[in-house]
Structure 1
Amino acid sequence: MKKLYPIEYIPSPENTIFIPESCEVALPLHHVSFGIKKTAAIIKKQKNAKNIISISNDLKSILQLPDDSSNIHLFFDSDTLYLGPLVGIFTCGFHTGKVKPIGERSLIFSKLLSVQKTAGVIAFLFGEQHINWEKETINGLFYEKGQWEVAEIPFPNVIYDRIPNRKSENLPRIQRTKKRLQQEFLIPWYNPGFFNKLDIYERLLQENSISDYLPETHAFTSFSLVERMLSNFGHVYIKPKNGSLGKGIYQLLYDRKEEMYYIRFNDEKGEKRLQKFETLETLMNHTFSKVNMNNFIIQQGIHLIRFEQKPIDFRVHTNKNKNGVWEVTAIAAKIAGSGSVTTHLSKGGTIKAVEELTAISSDTEGMLQKLKNASLKISKALEKQINGIIGEIGFDIGIDRKGRVWLFEANSKPGRSIFKYPSLKKYDVLTRKLSLEHSIYLMEQNIKKLEGSTRGHLL
């Protein structure tokens, strides 16, 4: 059991930290560390019923511990006691105002930071402009008691990447910051980068354990490829390789009785469109004449289970927990809007808990288990194939009319719009908590790695 320890600050004795007598660590320890800052200290054990860590005010100042620090974990290795984890949430798009320092995303981040005490971490928000490289400190944004405050703290133990889009991620200054913090300061960085649909598909094909979940997917090469897949599957999807939020997705269908081709999509104004053509060539030339098809993939269409005549797929969140083990943290059914290409909420989709699907299945528990098993298998397979540290994944998964599970997409930075649905709010808190809790595992592993010892462990 990984314990949480509250912190209190005391006026004396100087340069001293008292840890609970219950901590299974052999003294003496001669140093204490917070973030990447390390200093000599007097470390003693004391009896107290509340298992509180007591830190002298001068030591608090040296370590640059925030005023509202509480509920952290203790680690040790060699002669050093580590307080943490100190987690930096890295993003961009900051504003000058104190009320909404990150614009409309301020609410999302305030909700994420609100679970830090139950997770047992100290977390803050920052961007590349908040870093002081000479002092090795950050002017981090903390959210306490309903408001944003800035405090100077050391470089963190772990960084959680929340860059919002590919355009921002590819900015040279963002890339330089990430590279320097990882390479010069050896800080573990989790959830780096966005997934490319075709790249993910090709990597997962190498994993035999999950190949049955993968619909046939190809880079666009020719009309004949589309024709062949339409003949085999009846309908296909054309998707941007790097798309998100259901944007730029087209569904192509072939009606054998009419011998006509149909295409369904949302136009630039977001209006739903359905068009009919006599030939595939006419359809493709009319729709994609001004589009670079090298940026698209073609994916097998699946005949999904339906609710009230509308196709359903599922959003499944998985998170790595504080023990470094994958967990399924949320599952929601997404029901397509009338005439929509996808089940996205922005395209008229609606959300239901899986337990509410009794109209289409009497065994919703079996459906849940099937989705969980598939998601955990795919998470483990994906982790093996991807460079960098993955802490969470959002999957779009379907079940066809025969009960077979299919993976449509994996998202490295999953959205949270599904949690607006009342019965899913409990999962919202859990996914946020585990997003931060994974840093506990990463800090523990990094201490062992940096010290070159197997003795270090979490108290």
Structure 2
Amino acid sequence: MKALLQVKCREDLRDHQILVPFQISNMAIESVAFGTHQFPCRASLHSGYSLIVSKSLFEKLLVPYEGNIHVFVHEGTLHLGPLIGIFTAGFTSSIIRPIGERSLFFSKLLATERKVGAYMFLFGANHINWDDGTMEGFMFTEQGWCKKTVPFPHVVYDRLPNRRTERHRLLAETREKMQKDYAIPWFNPGFFNKWDIHQKLMIEENIVDYLPETHNEVTIDKIEKLLSKFPFIYLKPTNGSLGLGVFKIIYNREEETYYARYKTEEFVNKLQRSTSLEALLSHIMKNRDLSAYLIQQGIPLLKLEESFVDFRVHTNKDEIGKWVVSAMAAKLSGKGSITTHANSGGIIKTIPEIFSDANEQEAVISKLSHASILISEAIDTHMPGFIGEIGFDFGIDKDHRLWLFEANSKPGRSIFYHPKLRNEDNLTRKLSIEYAVYLTENTIKNPGGVFS
């Protein structure tokens, strides 16, 4: 069974004594656990609605502070949870900003724990004490950031910042050891590879129509062939992000000239042209590995004034492990940009700000919601590990057909800069914690089955 209770510590109780409310009185409780720490206990009933733990047991369990938390009773053990570890990198020596510029994002995420009933902490590979099964975790309280020693968590939420960090040997070994040796579910464990996702979705008959034509071998002949079929094409890195390294290639038949639009690493929009495709590619792709690129059909998107529009949809798993749409917004391209990313001058708009007609709003929202849930479920089926959230980039063409451009396992949060999307911002954080509650309960009840 599961209940949400306030956990309190009391000095006057005997060692290893706990007071259990009547709502869980029919359970024979012999021990209490928090994270990977477990101790025998003597349970007595009381008439309140809180779980009261002796001070000595509270300290042995390493419960960081009194608060609301879920309790799960299984096979004589009362589990307090979830204890959620957020795995990341880039820690600083400052307790005020322990994770640098990302401290604000993480403080908002950790502050959401009280609304759901959980304990959350940040940790990195160097904060683990493997010998005694504890971690030095960074927690965010009403007094700000602090460090607490906590047991190994019930679940780990992967928030590594980029692919380069993810490939670091120590971080990869930490993830593997936690899952294999300690059977700790690790959700959102890696960045998606565009080609890998495309191949897996291509076998789903009800999804194929959303996918632009895509090839993973970049050759002059292939580009020429696609440019004869479509008004323009894109060259995209299979492991890219933020729109960096993306090239829009156009062929003007009247001028017999090829054009390439792209942005530099300094986020400056550039336009390059040549009468020779080979010369153009040689210039823009110098020092780039073509084998790490895809060719993708270009889609003429809906436009608002002089900007083209695409859409970001966030999906999350909820407290029963079901996919739901948690946020949706439109993104308008900046002047001269081939993408709608904020760092290229992109602007965030709500759906009603794009479509003034109520029926059109409803149709677009319905279309985006249906596709994003369908594709979330397909990715979840085909990809290994535990996936708790996905960010999708969709486009709608001039014929109102919907296209999937990209799926992101660690979606950016630029759409939440919009003041009218604050509720969605809160919801995506809340759902991540609720999914951790779901994983915790399932791991406690069936520790082997959750990984099958």
TM interval, shorter chain, is over 0.9
Q: Answer whether contact 2:267 2:343 (CA < 8 A) is retained.
A: no
Offset of residue 359 of structure 1: 4.9
Which of 185, 189, 195 is matched with 1:188 structurally? 185
Offset of residue 156 of structure 1: 0.5
- Relative contact order (alpha carbons < 8 A, sep ≥ 6): 1 or 2 greater? 1
Which of 106, 109, 116 is matched with 1:119 structurally? 116
Farther off after superposition, 211-220 or 244-253: 211-220
Offset of residue 451 of structure 1: 7.7
Q: Deviations over 1:239-260 (max 9, x none)?
A: 1111101111110112233332
Map 1:190-339 to 2 at 5 A: 190-339=187-336
Q: Deviations over 1:337-369 (max 9, x none)?
A: 111010001001000001111258851111111
Which of 162, 165, 170 is matched with 1:168 structurally? 165
Offset of residue 133 of structure 1: 0.8
Counterpart position of 1:448: 445
Q: Deviations over 1:261-291 (max 9, x none)?
A: 2111113432211222223223222322432
Offset of residue 157 of structure 1: 0.5
Counterpart position of 1:59: 57
Map 1:31-180 to 2 at 5 A: 31-48=31-48, 51-67=49-65, 69-180=66-177
Partner AA of 1:56 in structure 2: S
Counterpart position of 2:26: 26
SS in 2 for 1:435: helix
Inter-CA distance 54–292: structure 2 relative to 1 (3 Å threshold): same
* Structure 2 Cα separation of the partners of residues 362 and 439 of structure 1: 37
* Structure 2 Cα separation of the partners of residues 152 and 271 of structure 1: 45
Inter-CA distance 361–334: structure 2 relative to 1 (3 Å threshold): farther
Q: Deviations over 1:164-206 (max 9, x none)?
A: 1111111111111111111111101000011111111111112
Q: Answer whether contact 2:155 2:186 (CA < 8 A) is retained.
A: yes
Q: Deviations over 1:370-422 (max 9, x none)?
A: 10110000000000111111011111111111111111111111111211110
Partner AA of 1:55 in structure 2: V
Map 1:364-375 to 2 at 5 A: 364-375=361-372
* Structure 1 Cα separation of the partners of residues 434 and 27 of structure 2: 27
SS in 1 for 2:372: helix
* Structure 1 Cα separation of the partners of residues 76 and 50 of structure 2: 21
* Structure 1 Cα separation of the partners of residues 449 and 419 of structure 2: 48
SS in 1 for 2:29: coil
- TM-score calculated relative to the size of structure 2: 0.96
Map 1:333-412 to 2 at 5 A: 333-359=330-356, 363-412=360-409
Partner AA of 2:101 in structure 1: E
Inter-CA distance 226–452: structure 2 relative to 1 (3 Å threshold): closer
* Structure 2 Cα separation of the partners of residues 297 and 34 of structure 1: 47
Task: Say whether 1:418 aligns with 2:433.
Answer: no
* Structure 1 Cα separation of the partners of residues 5 and 358 of structure 2: 46
Counterpart position of 1:17: 18
Farther off after superposition, 2-11 or 149-158: 2-11
Q: Answer whether contact 1:92 1:168 (CA < 8 A) is retained.
A: yes
* Structure 2 Cα separation of the partners of residues 232 and 4 of structure 1: 58
Tell me how many residue pairs correspond in the alignment: 449
Q: Deviations over 1:404-446 (max 9, x none)?
A: 1111111111111211110111111110111121111111111
Farther off after superposition, 3-12 or 301-310: 3-12
Partner AA of 1:118 in structure 2: K
Q: Answer whether contact 2:249 2:259 (CA < 8 A) is retained.
A: yes
Q: Answer whether contact 2:238 2:293 (CA < 8 A) is retained.
A: yes
Q: Answer whether contact 1:307 1:360 (CA < 8 A) is retained.
A: no
Q: Answer whether contact 1:77 1:451 (CA < 8 A) is retained.
A: no
Inter-CA distance 305–361: structure 2 relative to 1 (3 Å threshold): farther
Instruction: In structure 2, list runs of 5 or more residues that go unmatched.
Output: none
Superposed structure 1 runs of 4+ greater than 4 Å apart = 359-362
Partner AA of 2:297 in structure 1: Q
Task: Say whether 1:7 aligns with 2:7.
Answer: yes
Counterpart position of 1:457: none
Q: Deviations over 1:88-118 (max 9, x none)?
A: 0011111111111111111111111010011
Partner AA of 1:216 in structure 2: E
Q: Deviations over 1:109-130 (max 9, x none)?
A: 1111010011211100111111
RMSD: 1.8
Q: Answer whether contact 1:355 1:365 (CA < 8 A) is retained.
A: no
Partner AA of 1:5 in structure 2: L
Offset of residue 19 of structure 1: 2.6
Offset of residue 10 of structure 1: 1.6
Q: Answer whether contact 1:126 1:139 (CA < 8 A) is retained.
A: yes
* Structure 2 Cα separation of the partners of residues 452 and 220 of structure 1: 40
- TM-score calculated relative to the size of structure 1: 0.94
* Structure 1 Cα separation of the partners of residues 260 and 426 of structure 2: 39
SS in 2 for 1:264: strand
Partner AA of 1:29 in structure 2: I
Counterpart position of 1:456: none
Identity of aligned residues (%): 44
* Structure 1 Cα separation of the partners of residues 64 and 279 of structure 2: 64
Q: Answer whether contact 2:29 2:43 (CA < 8 A) is retained.
A: yes
* Structure 1 Cα separation of the partners of residues 182 and 325 of structure 2: 32
Q: Answer whether contact 2:2 2:73 (CA < 8 A) is retained.
A: no
